[in-house]
Amino acid sequence: MQTRRQDSGRCSTGKADRTITSLRNTFSTSNHACHTMNQIDLKSRAAIVTGGARGIGQAIATRLLQSGASVALWDRDEAALVAAKAELSALGPVHTAAVDLTDLAAVEKAAESTAAAFGRIDILVNNAGIAGTNSKTWEADPADWRRVIDINLNGPFYCCHAVIPHMLKGGYGRIVNIASIAGKEGNPNAAHYSASKAAVIALTKSLGKELATAGVVVNCVTPAVIETDILKQLTQQHIDYMLSKIPMNRFGQKEEAAALVAWLCSEDCSFTTGAVFDLSGGRATY
């Protein structure tokens, strides 16, 4: 599929909408459209999804609920949590916790409330993250660097620190960290984001080794661009650039990310830990 390039200027919402619609149409008519969902068995499992009130996090929560799990949505946006719970509760038990993931005490409190609500914690999906502002490394605002590292790296560490003892008590656990292809390739003008996601990959590998004999497996996913409303904020030129790096010539869908995560959360994922799963439409080279 070819998209028209705009040599200058920020695209209007209408232009971005047309690009996104075109990409969605290409996806829906392909041989890989996700109209039929393979069943993953997560019955009796209790899951946490951080950043679960919207976007990829909500799609993951939806898939876990459809697979039989009870799901706790952790997010800092209380209004979004209320809306997400109202939408998802028809699929199964939903617990919510408004939590700042950069505050260890708040994360520990959320873990205790989730364990009390479900009686156990079996699954942790560390999905929450931010991109930060774009700039050259030597021109970057140190405060922005610290904020990205704090949310993208310290947040998953705090969640693991608070949740793993519950998994060890039950002798079972599945942890999935959402990293990024940027953590493997390094995106220009996004050193903080790239560094944080590279660190999440390393955290995954270390944790996987530490928990290898405990019944708890830890893996991560490294997506390229997943289609969300954030594309509406980008210029047509940047959208075209990102698309040009993906051999499948389309962006990923939230449902595709959720499908991979659901399998990684299942008992079928039993001899894989400390692994990195690319979700890049062929962009990844190693």
From the list 172, 193, 241, 286, the catalytic residue is 193
CA atoms within 13 A on the CB side of 81: 17
Q: Where are the alpha helices (DSSP H) in the chain?
A: 13-28, 55-66, 78-88, 104-118, 142-149, 155-170, 182-185, 191-210, 236-244, 254-264
User: In this model, does residue 32 exceed pLDDT 80?
Assistant: no
pLDDT band at 162 (very low <50, low <70, confident <90, very high): very high
Concerning whether 172 is annotated as a catalytic residue, the answer is no
User: In this model, does residue 5 exceed pLDDT 70?
Assistant: no
- The residue-averaged pLDDT of 126-150 equals 93
- The residue-averaged pLDDT of 173-186 equals 94
User: In this model, does residue 30 exceed pLDDT 50?
Assistant: no
- The residue-averaged pLDDT of 59-86 equals 98
Say what the pTM is: 0.86
- Which tokens belong to 126? 């560390």
Q: Where are the alpha helices (DSSP H) in 174-218?
A: 182-185, 191-210
* Domain annotation for the chain: domains and CATH numbers: 40-225+254-276 (3.40.50.720)
